């Protein structure tokens, strides 16, 4: 029964990312990866829930920072490209 429910749930979850910005996707991915890692680490201390919560927060923050940095780099590249084209 779980396998039958897993496919539609994954399809809906991944389909919801279609119109997200790069920063949004990186934030969500970081949160998911952080939650999984936090749950694993937290399970060693007997508190997987708190580990997952902390990991999700840390992962989301990291993903957000990486996404914003990439967007800033892309904008700087675009400005430089436009300045180079206009000077010719």
Provide the residue ranges of all domains of the chain, joining segments of one domain with +. Answer: 22-86
Residue 9 has pLDDT above 60, yes or no: yes
Q: What tens digit of pLDDT does each residue of 63-73 get?
A: 999 999 999 99
Q: How far apart are the first and last CA of the chain?
A: 65
Q: What tens digit of pLDDT does each residue of 23-77 get?
A: 888 998 899 999 999 999 999 988 899 999 999 999 999 999 999 999 999 999 9
What is the CA 9 to chain-centroid distance, rounded? 18
Alpha carbon distance 76, 68 (integer Å): 12
The pTM score is 0.72
Query: Please, what's the largest Cα pairwise distance for the chain?
Result: 65
Alpha carbon distance 2, 67 (integer Å): 34
């Amino acid at each position: 029964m779980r396998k039958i429910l897993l496919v539609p749930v994954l399809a809906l979850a991944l389909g919801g990312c279609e119109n997200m910005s790069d920063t949004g996707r990186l934030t969500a991915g970081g949160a998911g990866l952080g939650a999984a890692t936090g749950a694993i680490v937290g399970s060693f201390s007997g508190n997987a829930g708190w580990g997952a919560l902390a990991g999700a927060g840390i992962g989301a923050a990291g993903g957000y920072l990486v996404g914003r940095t990439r967007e800033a780099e892309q904008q700087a590249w675009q400005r430089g490209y436009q300045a180079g084209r206009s000077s010719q």
